[in-house]
Amino acid sequence: MPTETGNRRASLTFFDAQGDRLQSIPLQGSGEEPSNTSISFTPSRLNFEDQDVSTQTQIQVITIENVGAIPVTFERIELAGPAQGDFQATENCTGLPIQPGVECTIEAIFNPTAVGDRAARLELQSNTSDRPWVLPLRGFGNESATAGSPQQGFNGSPASLGVNPDSVDFGELRVAAANVAPQRVTETITLNNPGSAPIVMQELSLGGQNVSDFQSSTNCTNNTVAPNSSCVVEITFTPGAAGERVADLLIVSNAPNDMTTVRLGGTGVNAIPRVPRITLTPDELTFDAQETSSSGKVVTIRNEGAIDLRVGNIAIAGNDPNYFALATRDDSINCANTVLAPGERCDVAIAFRGSSNDRTAQLTVSSNATNRVPDIQLRGRGSETNSGSTGGTGGTGTPQAPRISVTPPNFTFNTTGSEGVISVTNNGTADLRLGNITFTGDNPDFFSSAESNGLISCANTAVVPGDRCDISIVFAGSERDRAAQLTIPNDASDRPIVVNLIGVGSGSGETPGGNSSLSPSSQSLNFGNRPLLVTAEQQVLTLTNTGSSPLEIGNIAFTGDPDFFSLSASGDTLECSYQSLEPGSSCQLALGFTPFAEGDRTAQLTIPSNAPDGPVSVSLNGFGEPSGANSVPSYTPYGR
């Protein structure tokens, strides 16, 4: 055991078996400063008995022990919190180093200055932590010591505080490295009031061993939560070092369960973390007025991570949750509170009850996944809803709507630490709302945002018509080629836009997909002249891999006048998005045209892939003919 830092040398001497020769074996080692610091409190919180106002309790003792490996010096110990003046403390802990295994004590008393619930905390600032260690203090001030007098507050209040979940495990996250920002994950903790009296959230604070690795929102602090209501606290974990990282969220309220502690934990890793990843598809369900069958429509939950995904509560929330229901189908199960192994899926069926007016809600899914996914939007069309324009642009009857354009559709990083920019442009006539942008696919952990705060720019923002937003991405580097996707949820398309990301490994001599080639059966499709609102016969486009290596197709999307053209499955045709085609293989797309307004209409079908020549574009054309002498009717395309 080294007693000092630095290189240490010695020798082991002994006589050999003959007893006439002295042998010597050199010994060498290096002493390093221990790095782990840990403090324990006994008790971990201090609750005083109810006490009459202006009288003091007996002394209670708090024992502090250094259970770490290095000395700790407490620079100051002080009271804080909403009722700090109701508590007094004396101690023998500050000033001198407390060696590992050594204890010191704090003596505390409670002298309430007012009736009701009284809360404060002891903050211990040490030389080993940027943030103080925290120990909660709690007491209740009585108006009178008379037996049977009414008690209000945390011992007699009909208020009740519920916490969901009561602990949070953030899993494994990568720590910061050269040219790579640390990973961070945000989880939510819901504080609900199932009682019959309001709850006053007096204080929320973080404490514990690795408190600097966690950050909390202040949404609920000093708020009053009415009966049957709730508020949400967001906790963000960013590992500051490798290894297990723990802290506590302390919640002080006037509820009967007075102070509540939520345990927070996560693990920092230097290698690629093994984490669960959740995907929800599709990101929106739209029900027609007649679609009120109890079988409903399906949302698929899938675990695309490397360890088990724990699915928690599944609920319908938003504006009109009572008009939708979790349905039962022969081919679906209730996915709430289940565990999905890597690669497994689970289906949730949603039914629309019907209404005379349009109704909206959201399907929320909680889980232990490190990635966050937006809620599934639920839309039900009312039986008496006017099918006219929803903010049209005049005589054409075309509704105002966002249109998304993402360039480039693929990006290849040729060197470690190289940076790429993906531009998202709104070519429409209404604001484009972007959802939570994430890295998905086979190797998402090899790519990260170039933003200094570790967050992906453009996520959860609105892009006005004609404007654009840029997403900067960095490739972390690898010995071999790595591929992932940047998934961009938005309200302009039925599916998220996916940009293929390819990182060339340092040991690779060629670009991934270098021998693949995408060949469409036609470079353009003409649907001819069609009367308004009459759909043309579908045309089939065949995509073939004419190269010698596998072809990975990304998200196929429309640009131009996308509302007039459709991409669907029909018979043996397939949607080719996200398909992998072996050399010589092909897939088919069924394309349709429905003119909602007069005149020539054009669009482009953009097909991204990992082929060296980049995305392929197929031109689409059709013409809308007037359907009589009457003015062109206004029409909102279904689902837009």
pLDDT at 640 over 50: no
Whole-number Å distance between alpha carbons of 20 and 222: 83
Report phi then psi at 211, rounded to 5: -60, -30
- Stated pTM of the model: 0.36
Whole-number Å distance between alpha carbons of 115 and 297: 55
Residue where the block lists tokens 């591929």: 483
pLDDT at 258 over 70: no
pLDDT of residue 455: 66
Whole-number Å distance between alpha carbons of 263 and 207: 10
Confidence of residue 387 (pLDDT cuts 50, 70, 90): very low
Q: What is the pLDDT of residues 23-82, one digit of tens each?
A: 666 676 656 555 456 788 888 778 888 888 888 888 899 999 988 888 889 888 888 877
pLDDT of residue 225: 82
Q: Read off the tokens for 243.
A: 């290894």
pLDDT of residue 150: 33
Whole-number Å distance between alpha carbons of 368 and 245: 17
Q: What is the pLDDT of residues 74-115, one digit of tens each?
A: 888 888 877 888 898 888 888 888 888 899 999 999 988 888
Whole-number Å distance between alpha carbons of 287 and 351: 8
> What is the average pLDDT across 612-637?
62
Residue where the block lists tokens 């654009």: 468
Cα distances from 9 to residues 13, 14, 27, 144, in angstroms, run 13, 17, 6, 72
Burial of 3 (0-12, 13-18, 19+ CB in 10 A): exposed
Cα of 455 vs its chain's centroid, Å: 11
Mean predicted lDDT score pLDDT of the chain: 76
CB 601 within 8 A of CB 622: yes
Residue 411: CB atoms within 10 A of its CB come to: 19
Entry field: residues in the chain = 640
pLDDT at 279 over 60: yes
Q: What is the pLDDT of residues 409-455, one digit of tens each?
A: 778 887 777 788 888 888 877 888 888 888 887 778 788 877 655 56
pLDDT of residue 214: 92
Higher-confidence residue of 116 and 242: namely 242
pLDDT of residue 456: 77
List, edge to edge, every strand of the sheet that includes 284-287.
284-287, 376-380, 359-367, 309-317, 338-340
pLDDT of residue 386: 47
Least confidently predicted of 357-366, 372-381, 439-448 = 439-448
Whole-number Å distance between alpha carbons of 255 and 48: 16
pLDDT at 6 over 80: no
> 350: closest CA among 396, 416, 282, 399?
282
CB 511 within 8 A of CB 612: yes
Whole-number Å distance between alpha carbons of 343 and 338: 14
pLDDT of residue 531: 82
Cα distances from 251 to residues 162, 184, 185, 214, 233, in angstroms, run 11, 23, 21, 15, 10
3-state secondary structure 32-86: CCCCCCCEEEECCCEECCCEECCCCCCCEEEEEEECCCCCECEEEEEEECCCHHH
Beta strands in 219-343 (DSSP E): 224-225, 229-237, 243-253, 259-269, 278-281, 284-287, 297-303, 309-317, 324-327, 338-340
Confidence of residue 564 (pLDDT cuts 50, 70, 90): confident
pLDDT of residue 198: 80
* 3-state DSSP assignment of residue 564: helix
Sign of the Cα torsion 299, 304, 309, 312 reads: negative
Residue 345: CB atoms within 10 A of its CB come to: 13
Query: Which residues touch 426 (CB under 8 Å, ≥6 apart)?
Result: 402, 403, 404, 405, 432, 463, 464, 465, 466, 467, 468, 492
Q: What is the end-to-end Cα distance of the chain in Å, rounded? A: 71
Residue 410: CB atoms within 10 A of its CB come to: 19
Confidence of residue 398 (pLDDT cuts 50, 70, 90): very low
> 382: closest CA among 291, 283, 284, 285?
291
Amino acid at 609: S
